Amino acid sequence: MAELLVYSERVDTARELVAGGKELAAALGLGVSAVALGPGAGAAASELAGAGADTVYVSEDAAFDGWPADAVAAGLAQIVEQAGASVVLVGSTRRGKETAPRLAQKLGAGCVTDVNSLVVEDGELLAGRYAFGGATVAREKLATATKVFAVMPKTFSADGASAGAGNVVTPALTVSTAVKLVDRRAKEGDHVNLDAAPIIVGVGRGFNAREDLALGDDLAAALGAVVGCTKSLADFKWLGEDRIIGLSGAKTAPDLYLSVGVSGQIQHTVGVSAAKLIAAVNKDKEAPIFGMADYGLVGDLYQVLPALVERLKSV
Amino acid sequence: MDIVVCVKTNPDLQMVRIKHREAVTEAVPYKIGDLEKNALEAAVVLRDAVGGKVTALCLAEGNRKAAEGIKEALAMGADEAVVIDDPALAEPDQAAVAAALAAAVKKIGACDLLLFGEGSTDNYTGQVGARVAELLGLPQIGYARKMEAADGAVRCERSMDDMIETLEAPLPAVVTVVSEINEPRIPGLTQIMKAKSKPLQVWALADLGLDAPAPVREIVSNLAEEQDRKRILFEGAAAEQADAFVNALIKEGVLRR
From first to last of its 257 residues, chain B has per-residue pLDDT tens of: 999 999 999 888 877 878 888 888 888 888 999 999 999 999 999 999 999 999 999 999 887 888 889 999 999 999 999 999 999 999 999 999 999 999 999 999 999 999 999 998 888 899 999 999 999 999 999 999 999 998 899 999 998 877 899 999 999 999 999 988 999 999 999 999 999 999 999 999 999 999 999 999 999 999 988 778 999 999 999 999 999 999 999 999 998 65
Task: Tell me the residues of chain B between 16 and 75 that have a Cβ less than 8 Å away from chain A.
Answer: 16, 18, 21-23
Contact B155 A182 (CB under 8 A): yes
Distance (Å) from the alpha carbon of A103 to chain B's nearest alpha carbon:
8
Q: Do the Cβ atoms of B124 and A137 come within 8 Å? A: no
- Give the angle subtended at the CA of A96 by the CAs of A106 and A189, to the nearest 5°: 150
CB distance from B94 to chain A under 8 Å?
A: yes
Q: How far apart are CA A163 and CA A172, in angstroms?
A: 26
CA gap A263, A259 in Å, rounded: 9
- CA distances in angstroms from B209 to B3, B204, B215, listed in the order given: 23, 9, 18
Full-model pTM: 0.88
* B215–A143 C-beta distance less than 8 A: yes
Whether the predicted pLDDT of A126 surpasses 80: yes
Interface of B with A in 141-180 (CB under 8 A): 141-143, 155, 159-170, 173, 176, 179-180
Sign of CA dihedral A235, A236, A237, A242: negative
Residue B98's pLDDT is what? 98
Q: What is the mean pLDDT of chain A?
A: 93
**Contacts of residue A312 in chain B, CB cutoff 8 Å?**
246, 255
- Using the Cβ of A236 and the Cβ atoms of chain B, whether some distance falls under 8 Å is answered with no
Which class for A130: exposed (0-12), middle (13-18), buried (19 or more C-beta within 10 A)? Answer: buried
Q: What are the C-alpha distances in Å from B53 to residues A218, B50, B56?
A: 53, 10, 10
- In a mutational test of the B interface, the residue from A8, A9, A67, A70 whose CB has the highest number of chain B CBs within 10 Å is A70
Span A208-226, pLDDT tens digits:
999 999 999 999 999 999 9
Do A187 and B159 make contact, defined as CB atoms within 8 angstroms? yes
Chain B residues with beta carbon closer than 8 angstroms to that of A266: 13
Half-sphere exposure of A56 (CA within 13 A, CB side): 28
Task: Report which of A149, A109, A147 is spatially closest to residue A127, judged by C-alpha positions.
Answer: A149
Q: How sure is the predictor about A190, in pLDDT bands with cuts at 50, 70 and 90? A: low
**Is beta strand B17-19 parallel, antiparallel or unpaired with respect to B22-24?**
antiparallel
End-to-end CA distance of chain B: 61
Of A158-167, A222-231, A304-313, B58-67, give the lowest mean pLDDT range.
A158-167
Largest interatomic CA distance in chain A: 65
CB nearest to A290's CB, from B134, B163, B233 = B233
User: Does A124 score more than 70 pLDDT?
Assistant: yes
Candidates B15, B225, B235, B250, partner chain A, best to mutate (most A CBs within 10 A): B225
Q: Does B118 touch chain A (CB under 8 A)?
A: no
The minimum CA-CA distance between A167 and chain B, rounded to whole Å, is 31
Taking Cα atoms as reference points, which of B172, B60, B40 lies closest to residue B116?
B40
Asked whether the predicted pLDDT for residue A1 surpasses 80, the reply is no
- Report yes or no: A232 at the B interface, CB cutoff 8 Å: no
A 5-44 → B contacts, CB under 8 A: none
* pLDDT surpassing 90 at residue A241: no
Chain B residues with CB inside 8 Å of A276's CB? 254
Contact flag A276-B229 (C-beta cutoff 8 Å) = no
pLDDT score for B249? 95
List the 205-224 stretch of A: residues with Cβ below 8 A of B. 223-224
Report the gap between the CA of A126 and the closest CA in chain B (Å): 9
Identify the sign of the CA torsion B231, B236, B239, B243.
negative
Distance between CA atoms of residues B115 and B39, nearest Å = 6
For the residues A37-53, what does the mean pLDDT come to?
92
Closest approach of B194 to chain A, Cα-based (Å): 32
Closest approach of A293 to chain B, Cα-based (Å): 5
Task: Give percent of chain A with pLDDT exceeding 90.
Answer: 79
